[in-house]
Structure 1
């Protein structure tokens, strides 16, 4: 783009030709010759949700064809690992004293082929003495039967943000409210379902572990692999090839990957492992799983003055990331976009005999938004006012400087009413309400529902809020960008090249991105929490500026001029003295000259942010509900997601589309379920309600940009916003469609059966 910036333009993705033709190279596809002759590992998994292990019989498996070894916690010498969030909750990577959920790894079978290992795994018999099974959160919280006896309770973590003095009675807290509404909401457990299930390969090279993992951040995973294999940081080399989706669940390091190094060392040859889809559904960390009790109070005119949220978080069977991450973000974001003077939020994390929970797209922010948005709807219904207007009168006023809420969270910039107005105008809100009224008056079985949500979320908020980048120019004028973020569908190759090109003028097709290799990129924060562009991208942008400055100094030396007089002609990718463009030095010439002086033309930089950023927006969902059957049809979704300055609108829209699909899926279809004995009954894609394009409308994206001051790009995160805004809007639309029949709330997912039952119960 001669004379202008490429930033802000709809640039096609550099990644797509590879993925659409030859395809990516994923962990299970590796052709590295160092893995030739690798043995295959299959894990024996518990068929019991909770019980004491009496014995593990591996004799039958050892006699099976092709079997090389069968390992247990004892044979591998595994010691209990204490949870950093509750040291009393300790476990071994392979279950040893007891099993805590169906699917927990108990033993590892190593064989020449995967099929031989899978067959032999069926011959390992685990003798378990049954213990009471806890699936229900409140029952687990009240039970004396403990999943971790040393913890003294099934409640393993608490956080509190008080909006009233300790021990104040709730009735007293809401005493001045003219209207109060209470609710019990279940933000149900969901499975991440990445297209690529987990796989890994490991080998030892002269005493050094080399392992390939499907991960959202190889650098962040390294500490766990060092701990599992011993030695120092230099003894572990992790590589992340292409990753087919993560959604938060691939941030964690799991026993199945961590044990491959020790197994390969004992075996003296490489090993490989991959899970089946059913194993993935049972063992890849689940998301959400938060039971919410809310009370909201205020005036009959619609002003909300008090809000109380008590969240009980399902940690699953392990006290891991899911124990603290969702509560950690739910609590500070409890007030959402609203100016509520009195707020209290309490969270309690509870272990259950289910798959451990972990990060899942939004992690705590969607839960907080779902709670306050449902609360606002119920409050509006109670006082008989339009839910959009009740929201409007309670919104925090527009601010372009930091604003701190009554719960203590500081937002950067926000224009919540502006986002709401844009979404309502695009949706034609008044016309939709008129059509809804006409259908109600006609007695039509198919009723229209309109759902409104306004949200704010925190992105890039996990410490340390920083990212490194390295930029290197080669003798042929091409460049390599090294980044600590790790793409799995976000479009980093495109945007990082855009950012580098915009400052250097080096063509995008001559810029290569390197990520996910701890030898080539030793430090990095990975890709999670919508941090990549605002921290990783900002680092590339900063590094490109510094690279140009370094090149200007070298060009000044070669052209025998003052550095202040050296300018970069980005259209031609050459440096010259101002006013004399005919005599210039190209990037290639500068790279050669730098190397001849004993230096590479390279820059290492670190971008540090002072705070998180807070994207916001508003969604309008329109659904049609058949009141005879409860069937829901999603007709429209209007999304105004403000992520600050937009670098590539094409990628922005893609992230919003994916988020809306995922949020709608939770609202209408997805739910991980267990029977009373802890057996998963949604352990494959035939039983689990995955959404497809057939269930989704075309999305109407409304653009709005409110740049942040937190980074030079003015950019905020977008990867999770669509999920956060869409879920409560769709859920509220379903309830709204049948509210005239007396229905006040329907828990997600709003399946036809659940909607029909709510209608019948209201009669």
Structure 2
């Protein structure tokens, strides 16, 4: 029987049932349900002239066929709830498209059948008469194209500028560098896509969802159906990943309750991967136009950026991600003049949603690429430029140009740790030798530094601790884990504060009937908010239990202490005398409850809601070492060295697991992943054969290191860590590839750094050198 404390690498308790197959994923949790299949648009932009569902409705096994017109007849809202200013109301997402479709994959018709195969077969019989319209696909030109919304003056839905700021006059600076970057569109590709089931029981809607928070899902359903919260129950259990993409309800989710009502039985929706490749939201998809300026000695003076973000066909998280991208500037660097503008632009593509980092990775790439270009212009090593401009530890706490309060840390110290672990001098010596030997395998070293903003998603988080009749504990949490290790972490927090063995503590989540409130698991907020709530509730429970222990020990409450090594209360100074354990306290309270005729399912409960006064700011320094094959353009990642600071680490093993996962996703964006459309808006990477992702074979051993500077903004001292790897890995790898190719006159290649794109840049560099064109600072990779 072990007690766990902060700093222990307790083995994850939530993995055993996954490894043994004792799971409750949505697809195997509704055995009596009918199956839902959605007919979606095959056009990126078209008018709907007519919909003929007669053959589908008569097909074998079909229970119902529902169109947008049917929804209107049933009195259901035609659009999704939740679109808020400054987004225009005319851009709200239709639940089922009726008059016009705006992206390939948009839902038009819902079919319910006895089997999944029958529903899919019936979908083939639906005839939709389209009148194609010119699609708007290219973000670079979308602002000039015909609006995709009839009520809009242009496809630019929102424009913003840094408050109380104006464009920078760059004529005052010694060195000025301008460039443009593309932050590539990616598909989140969780192992389990969008899935849900719904049923009505005694007039209540019950929905089981693979989501990031049952309470926000319940709230969305209540808004659309016009029901009170207590008329809806939402549950979740095992979720096969999300990374932000399933943080909010999709139209197909909302409609399930209506379909269950129409057919009078439970329904389940488990779309195939091909449907999710275009139906599940995409992310990133930004263009960056930057100007960076400073002195020839490497001092940075000014940074200006315009961020154009793709919202996709309907605005969701694109604007929020652009805001994050701008407001995280200028990262950990001391740059006096900072200005930004942004615009959010609609296109006929899959809507943009949050994805691991949600704008902060885009900011990290923008910033680190800009510094790398500046360093190249003044012919100083980029690492040296970073050193000369980092905020010193003495400057913290510090309020950035974006209003982000950097709470604690040591940015120069973090870089020092990275350089020590990297052994930069040896790498530079090898690089020089390879260049002297004209080695076809060109070595490159790239470094990136960043700050993150975590627990920035608004709202408190809930935690409760229940003492059970046998002296064990059950934690109720408003957080909704989908791989993060919440159960293990919350158990550690309770064990540390009660002296109870980890085996005697369990965790429950994901049921709006049982857990009264909660938010989404996103924005790297869970340990800071939900964990702090659990810790506060536990400490309150210990204080209340002390009073009962004092009664049993016949001592003053102030004289009773809890021995955290044994989980027993005793009188101060007399640990060897009479003691009272949690089971004895539970028995006392059971007797009290029996005398009062009270419920004894749990004998003591304490709960808390925690909202920190401010966000926290973790940070990191990352380095990548790559080989670039000059003849093929292939990039091989040799090393990935990371140093992160996430404040106090409750469970270092879980922290490192989060770093590893995010770094691998960053590697994917940097080298492999990009969702591509043709000019007509047809997906060219609509399956996992054409949409490439790294496997374990492509990932080198990850050299992850941690420092600890606790945050003052929550009682645990924790900062978020789940998204940092996506922020640092991408620019470190991109800078490393450019470092390898710099002797060829290449100063930038856009993401992803695929062999084709790198090879093309190498070939173009050779042509340009042959004709005497040597200024490549503003060349964008193909």
Any residues of structure 2 matched to 1:569-718 within 5 Å, and which?
569-578=563-572, 579=574, 581-598=576-593, 600-718=603-721
Alignment match, 1:512:
506
Q: CA RMSD in A?
A: 1.5
Q: Does 2:557 match 1:555?
A: no
Aligned to 1:156: 157
Q: How does 1:18-29 map to 2 (within 5 A)?
A: 18-29=17-28
Deviation at 1:64, TM superposition (A): 1.2
1:351 aligns with 346
| Contact 1:157 1:323 (C-alpha < 8 Å) held by counterparts | no
CA–CA separation in structure 2 for the residues paired with 1:477 and 1:66: 53
Q: CA deviation at 1:649?
A: 1.1
Residue 506 of structure 1 deviates from its aligned partner by 1.5
2-structure distance, mates of 1:592, 1:198 = 46
600-609 vs 82-91, greater mean Cα deviation: 82-91
CA deviation after TM superposition for structure 1 residue 46, in Å = 0.5
Counterparts of residues 125-164 of structure 1 (less than 5 Å): 125-143=127-145, 145-161=146-162, 164=165
> Paired residue for 1:102?
104
Report the secondary structure of 2:549's partner residue. Answer: helix
More displaced stretch, 517-526 vs 114-123:
517-526
* Distance across 2 between alignment mates of 1:398 and 1:59: 70
Post-superposition offset of 1:157: 1.6
Alignment match of 2:315 (pick from 316, 319, 340) = 319
Q: Which residue of 1 aligns with 2:491?
A: 497
Deviation at 1:158, TM superposition (A): 2.0
Query: 5+ residue gaps in structure 2?
Result: 767-782
Give the conservation status (yes or no) of the 8 Å contact 2:618–2:644: yes
CA contact (8 A) 2:324 2:359 kept: yes
Give me the whole-angstrom Cα distance separating, in 1, the residues matched to 2:710 and 2:391: 18
How many Å separate the matches in 2 of 1:90 and 1:391?
43
CA distance in 2, matches of 1:148, 1:655: 40
Q: Secondary structure at the match of 2:172?
A: coil
Query: What secondary structure, in the 3-state scheme, does the structure 2 residue paired with 1:396 have?
Result: coil
Q: 1:164 to 1:37 in 2, by over 3 A?
A: closer
- Going from structure 1 to structure 2, the CA distance change for 1:73 and 1:553 (only over 3 Å counts) comes to same
1:199 aligns with 2:200: no
Is 1:294 aligned with 2:328? no
Provide the TM-score with structure 1 as the length reference. Answer: 0.96
Contact 1:159-1:327 at 8 Å conserved across structures: no
* Contact 2:4-2:502 within 8 A present in 1 as well: no
For the 8 Å contact 1:449–1:734, the answer to whether it is kept is yes
In structure 1, distance between residues paired with 2:226 and 2:591? 42
Show the counterpart of 2:94. 92
Cα distance in 2 between the residues matched to 1:140 and 1:507? 59
The C-alpha deviation readout for 1:635-664, integer Å capped at 9, x for no partner, is: 001000110111111111111111110001
Give how far 1:400 is off.
7.1
**Inter-partner Cα distance in structure 2 for 1:140 and 1:449:** 36
Match of 2:762 in 1: 759
Q: Secondary structure of 2:69's partner? A: coil
Q: Does 1:119 align with 2:121?
A: yes
Shift of 1:38: 1.7
Contact 1:309 1:334 in 2 (8 A): no
Q: Which range moves more in the overlay, 14-23 or 209-218?
A: 14-23
CA distance in 2 between partners of 1:562 and 1:408 (Å): 49
Question: What is the match of residue 467 of structure 2?
Answer: 473
Instruction: Give the superposition deviation at 1:162.
Output: 5.3
Whether the 8 Å CA contact 2:648–2:710 is kept in 1: the answer is yes
Unaligned stretches of 5+ in structure 1?
A: none
Q: Following the alignment from structure 2 to structure 1, what is the Cα–Cα distance between the partners of residues 163 and 575?
A: 67
Q: State whether residues 457 and 522 of structure 2, in contact with CA within 8 Å, keep that contact through their aligned partners in structure 1.
A: no
CA distance in 1, matches of 2:34, 2:691: 32
Contact 1:61 1:123 in 2 (8 A): yes
1:726 counterpart residue number: 729
Q: 1:278 aligns with which of 266, 274, 281?
A: 274
Offset from partner CA, 1:400-429 (integer Å, 9 cap, x none): 742012343221112111111101110001
| 1:379 pairs with 2:380 | no
> TM (normalized to structure 2)?
0.94
State whether residues 71 and 78 of structure 2, in contact with CA within 8 Å, keep that contact through their aligned partners in structure 1.
no
Q: Any idea what SS the aligned residue of 1:327 has?
A: helix
SS at match of 1:151: coil
Contact 2:4 2:10 in 1 (8 A): no
Aligned to 2:750, which of 747, 751, 754? 747
1:613 shift after superposition:
0.3
Aligned to 2:538: 544
Alpha carbons 1:162, 1:343 under 8 Å: kept: no
1:335-414 aligned at under 5 Å gives the runs: 335-399=330-394, 401-414=396-409
SS of residue matched to 2:620: strand
Provide the residue aligned with 2:776 in structure 1: none
The Cα shift of 1:178 comes to 0.9
For 2:627 and 2:318, locate their aligned partners in 1 and report how far apart those are by CA, in whole Å: 37
8 Å contact kept, 1:286–1:358: yes
Query: Is the contact made by 1:80 and 1:90 (CA closer than 8 Å) also made in structure 2?
Result: no
Query: Which whole-Å CA distance do the structure 2 matches of 1:453 and 1:375 have between them?
Result: 11
Q: CA deviation at 1:593?
A: 2.1
> Residues 77 and 224 of structure 2 are in contact (CA less than 8 Å); yes or no, is this contact kept in structure 1?
no
Deviations along 1:210-269, whole A, 9 cap, x unmatched? 110000111122221112222111111000110110100010210111100011112111
Structure 2 distance, partners of 1:228, 1:540, is 32
Q: Does 1:564 align with 2:567?
A: no
Q: Secondary structure at the match of 2:532?
A: helix
Instruction: For 1:329 and 1:48, locate their aligned partners in 2 and report how far apart those are by CA, in whole Å.
Output: 32
User: Please, which moves more after superposition, 555-564 or 721-730?
Assistant: 555-564
CA contact (8 A) 1:374 1:728 kept: yes
CA separation in 1, counterparts of 2:77 and 2:25? Answer: 32
SS in 1 for 2:151: helix
Contact 1:412/1:613, CA 8 A, preserved across alignment: yes
Asked whether the equivalents of residues 71 and 77 of structure 2 are also in contact (C-alpha less than 8 Å), the reply is no
Label 1:162 to 1:745 Cα distance change in 2 as closer, same or farther (>3 A): farther
Question: SS state of the match for residue 183, structure 2?
Answer: strand
Structure 1 position 220 matched with structure 2 position 221: no
Q: 1:426 aligns with which of 409, 421, 424?
A: 421
